[in-house]
Chain A
Amino acid sequence: MAQNPFRSEAEAYRFLLLTIGFFALVVAAAALNTWLGVGVFVLLTALVGWRWLGSRTQEPMLRTSVAHHGEEDERRILVIANETVGGSELLDVLRRRAEGVQEHVLVVCPALNSVVRHWASDDDGARAAAQQRLEISLAQLARDGVDARGQVGDGDPLQAMEDALRTFGPDEIVISTHPPGRSNWLERNVVGQARERFDVPITHVVVDLER
């Protein structure tokens, strides 16, 4: 995301100094020759754009990490799943993880939405659908003896993970997806990006609902 130069007074002050320098050069060049002024303006604008784009790509990825929440023998598992949340493969993994420890499972269903609706802030329908999927899944987990609670998360699965990471403090993240070829999340490399972004063990579970 672009860095807003007006997010703190110090950054706004730096932006002001740069603006002074920028226009001083343009005006000085324009005083010599109008077209030289235009050229300097274009050149400086291109330079600023190039620096801005360069700074965006060179920004080191800061990995989000969390401290262990709760008791010593407690294991907190964050499950990110959408349609596959009730799959047997996922339930098997959760059961294995829960053996011998006091498990706390938080299931997050991202409120997947269309781009147009997202920008129009029209996410009521997406959240309601996600809530419905979540409640069905939680009921199924409860039947299987998994102590789980759930919440609807951000439409972006990575953001939903980050939000939950800060509030829940999981020891592990389990990402459940459809098989390759049918999974939009795998197409977008959500699992790979999550491994780069979060300093928490991540397990990827493939759930084939068509079997």
Chain B
Amino acid sequence: MSAHADHAAGHHGPPIANRSSRIEATVLGMFLFIASEAMLFGAFFTAYFFVRVVNPDAPGWPLEPFHLPVFVAGVNTAILVTSSFTMHWALQSIKRGNRVGLQAGLVLTFLMGLAFLITQMLEYARIGFNPSDGAFGTIFFGLTGLHGAHVFIGLTLLAVATIRAFRGHFTPEHHHGVEIPGIYWHFVDVMWIVVYATIYLI
């Protein structure tokens, strides 16, 4: 008969991390990431709505002389939303072992993301106001620019996934390298829908 405790007696180096099955580390990481991103965008939306609330007598929104290219941004929104569909298709393809579908889906997603970003830059160049033109200008460029930065990060992740897909990585069982960028990409799309509906439409 023996009795002993499973502890770190004689263990060298940093203490062994306590791991509970309550939540997986990857899921917890995603939780914390999404929470931090929601707070970040939330801060910008708060500033935006503050600007609107302090102008209750505005006849229309945005105030004169600001004009937003609603149609062009709408087309851009359609491009970004479509890129989510192709991203989903890419992941479904690799889950079924269809490598061509994976590659095509990733390439299309990347190209549409790039088209969105280029269109947004062109929109910035031609919109007729800049970040220093009052509170609205600042928050418009701040919010859409923050989202644009997220699109850029997403494109970087997609580029890595695409290169890996063409180099023969990923299998129906192991495709974390596609799934995680896919989750991020959908998050970026969700945020854009909120940004577009709030700033351009409502």
Residues in chain A within 8 A of chain B (CB atoms): 1, 4, 6-10, 12-13, 15-16, 19-20, 23, 26-27, 30-31, 37, 123, 127, 131, 134-135, 138-139, 141-142, 145-152, 154, 156, 159, 162-163, 166
Contact = CB atoms under 8 A, between A and B. Distances in A.
Contact of B5 (A6, A138, A156): A138
B88 to A, nearest CB: 5
A145 B2 CA distance: 8
Contacts of B6: 149-151
Nearest to B37: A6
A37 B202 contact: yes
6 contacts: A9-B183, A13-B84, A16-B190, A138-B5, A154-B22, A156-B22
Nearest to A131: B7
B193 A19 contact: yes
B1 interface: yes
A66 B22 CA distance: 17
A65 to B, nearest CB: 14
B201 A6 contact: no
Does more than half of chain B's interface fall in helix, strand or loop, or is it mixed? helix
A138 B197 contact: no
Contact of B194 (A19, A138, A156): A19
Contact of B21 (A1, A10, A135, A163): A163
Given A16-B190, A135-B5, A154-B20, A9 B91 contact: yes
Contacts of B21: 159, 162-163, 166
Interface stretch (B27-35, B119-127, B131-139, B146-154): B27-35
B54 interface: no
A9 B201 contact: no
A23 B31 contact: no
A163 B20 contact: yes
Could you say which of B5, B88, B193 has the most chain A C-beta atoms within 10 Å of its C-beta? B5
Interface string B182-202: 110011011001100100011
10 shortest interchain CB distances as A-B pairs: A142-B3, A12-B186, A9-B182, A23-B197, A138-B3, A151-B6, A12-B183, A13-B88, A154-B20, A27-B201
B177 to A, nearest CB: 12
B184 to A, nearest CB: 9
Interface in B13-61: 18, 20-23, 27, 30-31, 34
B81 interface: yes
